[in-house]
Amino acid sequence: MAITAGIDAGAKNTKVVILREDVVVGRGTNPTGFALSEAVEKAFVLALEEAGITRDQVDRIVATGAGRKAVHLAQGNVTEVTADARGANRLMPSARTVIDVGAEEGRGISIDERGVLVDSAVNEKCAAGAGAFTEAMARALEIPLEDIGELSLQSTKSIDMNAQCTVFAESELVTLVHSNTATADIARSVHDAISSRITSMVRRVGLEPEVMLIGGVGYNVGFKKSLEEDLGMKVTVPEYPEYVTALGAAIIAKEQLGGA
Amino acid sequence: MRANYGYTDGSGEWYITIDTNKCDGCRACEEVCPEGCFAIEVDDYDDEVAMVTEDQRKKIKYSCGPCKPVGKEHVEPCHEACPHGAIEHSW
Amino acid sequence: MAGEDKPEYWRWPESRWTNPDLDWKAGDIITAGVDVGSVSSQAAIMVDGQLFAYSNMRTGSNSPDSAVNAMDWALKDTGMTLDDINYVVGTGYGRVNVPFSNRAITEIACHARGGNFMYGPTVRTILDMGGQDCKAIRCDGRGKVEEFLMNDKCAAGTGRGMEVFADLLSVPIQDVGEMSLDIDEEPNPVSSTCVVFAKTEATGLLREGWPKEKVLAAYCSAMAHRVVTLLERLGVEEDFAITGGIAKNRGVVKRLEDELGITTLEPRYDTQIAGAVGAALFAEALVKKQRKQAGG
Ligand code: SF4
Ligand code: SF4
């Protein structure tokens, strides 16, 4: 029985998925911080513990994510989009568009029925196009990141945010707070802003149903709602959205073993 | 005058350049753009020319995205519409 | 001076100047330019094409008030009042909110014209690094714009990006430049352009034990490099001048000069007043045009 692992060395968090045949038996995560190897080791150990196995039982490890080339534990690596495509396809074979919004990058991916990548577009290197935007805005609003999604669902009116930069948006948001704008409405404007940027990126790769949203931002119900409105389409978020990329890498590791 | 509207941010360079020596203010771009990126206005030197609207200047990477599909041959509608070739994109 | 009460690490001091050798009462055409920026506002008064007075102060929360304050401060103790001024042009981000102005002109055109006056007609490339934007302008010998770009979307490469760093390191903004030059060896520039990601990078460097000076050096050279990329779109033609708040930051200017292999012109006035001076010059030209038309 083949046991494989996928390690997603993201800019913010490192995630590990362990697969026994086609079943996920262990998951682990740790903040990447400034010491990647340490984070990889910790997340890997957590996943091994959950799987109840030792490290030499793992037949093959494939890394992905921004730090994939620096993961020395791995025997191979694949790009995030390839891993995303495979992971999303496993969870929902009908998915044709995959949107992966992580802390530092947003990706739009179109895939075929076998989980093969067709096209992809990315928002990168600008915090305004990724999860870091929402994080900074939650901080400026002085509310926990986990709460900003729920909060925005209570909004009664939409307001436009002018700033297209995280730094300038922080000041704009402070002005809104001072002018007594409801926090729920501000939270919604944050999600609308990031969603419109993600939507135009996704439209570049062609928008086909079904649409799956993965990455840590998948937990944000407020963002999901804004995204569904902008796309005019239902968006599905799988369980453990932040592990889909690591899952894809683990599946690819299994395929690379061949046979079995 | 070559007017570059847009920005350079962490992700790259995103500019629409309008050559006001070529532009005669015919409004073709204004009519064809699905995002309302253009307006015809009198500039500081009293010429009536096309400009990229104020609120679009900060988001053209996103606004023009759908006109620039990944992996497909394309000509932007504004380029096609301009009879004088006065409009360029930097990407 | 207003606003000096609490320590702010990230704003330039205000300034004011009057030409002691000029008798404005003997003047014929008196014009003014008011540049209302997002962070600072300036007023410049010209008498027959000569600079008579200027002020440079912070922009408050309200643009019209800031315009009035800057103008009042420039007029202070000169004996001149607003009524003595023939024509006022407003410019900058708040240009449509200058209550006493006769016309609004964009900051690009005003900067080119003001730069031409302040640095002389040989100036061909002007870089203005303001509080929340960055402009690159190529102009002809009369100060007319040939090509420009203006970036007010992204905080990187603007005063604001520098403020974020000054704040992070608790260093007063006017000391950033000198401190960044107080190093033994030039470090690699901060690799992220994005201010948010650059801040994360800097936090990591501080954790590794880098002194503040070295972190500032890494950021100043990143900023210089970013501005060079902007300039390269236009092509830098000499003479080259830098205006705006960042022109006062030697740490950025020196690295910029090194990267371009060009030295910038020495400023003769406060580098932040180029927009206001240009606006006052446009005003003068407009008065002359009106008189000519009236005179038939
Ligand atoms: S590319 Fe499309 S959206 Fe962009 S300016 Fe041209 S027509 Fe408008
Ligand atoms: S500073 Fe702002 S606009 Fe620039 S790259 Fe970062 S988030 Fe984007």
Residue with CA nearest ligand 1 atom 3: B64
Domains and CATH numbers, chain C: 15-119+272-295 (3.30.420.40), 125-264 (3.30.420.40)
- pLDDT at residue C3 is higher than 80: no
ipTM of the complex: 0.92
What residues does CATH 3.30.420.40 cover in chain A? 1-92+240-260, 94-237
Evaluate whether C33 touches C88 at the Cβ level (below 8 Å).
yes
Summarize pLDDT for B28-61 with one digit per residue, the tens.
999 999 999 999 999 998 899 999 999 899 999 9
User: What is the rounded average pLDDT of the residues B15-26?
Assistant: 96
pLDDT at B75: 95
pLDDT at A258: 79
Beta bridge partners of A64: A8
The residue with greater pLDDT, A120 or C3, is: A120
Tokens of C256: 């910029």
3-state secondary structure B19-49: ECCCCCCCCHHHHHCCCCCEEEEECCCCCEE
Beta bridge partners of C33: C44, C89
Please choose, from the candidates C108, C66, C21, C87, the residue with its C-alpha nearest in 3D space to the C-alpha of residue C281.
Answer: C87
Q: Which CATH class is domain A94-237?
A: alpha beta
CB of B8 within 6 A of ligand 2: the answer is no
User: What is the rounded average pLDDT of the residues C74-100?
Assistant: 93
- pLDDT at residue C4 is higher than 50: no
Residues of A in contact with C192 (CB under 8 A): 125
Within chain A, which residues score under 70 in pLDDT? 259-260
CB of A167 within 6 A of ligand 2: the answer is yes
Q: What span, in angstroms and rounded, lies between the C-alpha atoms of B46 and B48?
A: 7
User: What is the rounded average pLDDT of the residues C12-21?
Assistant: 86
CB of B71 within 6 A of ligand 2: the answer is no
Q: A176: part of which helix (H) or strand (E)?
A: helix A166-178
Task: Tell me the residue type at C56.
Answer: N
Could you list the residue range(s) of the whole structural domain that residue B33 is in?
Answer: 2-89
Chain A partners (3+ C-beta pairs within 8 A)? B, C
Summarize pLDDT for C23-41 with one digit per residue, the tens.
999 999 999 999 998 888 9
Cα of B10 to nearest chain A Cα, Å: 5
Summarize pLDDT for C127-140 with one digit per residue, the tens.
998 888 899 999 99
Looking at residue A164, the DSSP 8-state letter turns out to be -
- pLDDT at residue C5 is higher than 90: no
Long-range residue pairs from C101-107, CB within 8 A, at least 24 positions apart, any chain: C101/C34, C101/C67, C102/C283, C102/C286, C103/C282, C103/C283, C103/C286, C105/B44, C105/C279, C105/C282, C106/B43, C106/B44, C107/C35, C107/C37, C107/C135, C107/C150, C107/C275
Distances (CA, A) of A20 to A25, A26, A54, B83: 6, 9, 13, 62
Using the mean position of ligand 1's atoms as its centre, give its distance from the Cα of residue B30 in Å.
Answer: 9
Beta bridge partners of A3: A20
Q: Which CATH class is domain A1-92+240-260?
A: alpha beta
What would you report as the CA-atom Rg of chain A, rounded to the nearest whole angstrom?
A: 19
Is residue C1 very low, low, confident or very high in pLDDT (cuts 50, 70, 90)?
very low
Phi, psi of A152 (to 5 degrees): -70, -20
* pTM reported for the whole predicted model: 0.90
Is residue C6 very low, low, confident or very high in pLDDT (cuts 50, 70, 90)?
very low
- CATH code, domain carrying B61: 3.30.70.20
Count of CB atoms situated within 10 Å of the CB of B17: 18
- In three-state secondary structure terms, B84 is coil
Evaluate whether C273 touches C38 at the Cβ level (below 8 Å).
no
Q: What span, in angstroms and rounded, lies between the C-alpha atoms of C161 and C169?
A: 13
Total domains, chain B: 1
Summarize pLDDT for C202-226 with one digit per residue, the tens.
999 999 999 999 999 999 999 999 9
Distances (CA, A) of A94 to A98, A112, A203, A237, A240: 11, 9, 19, 13, 18
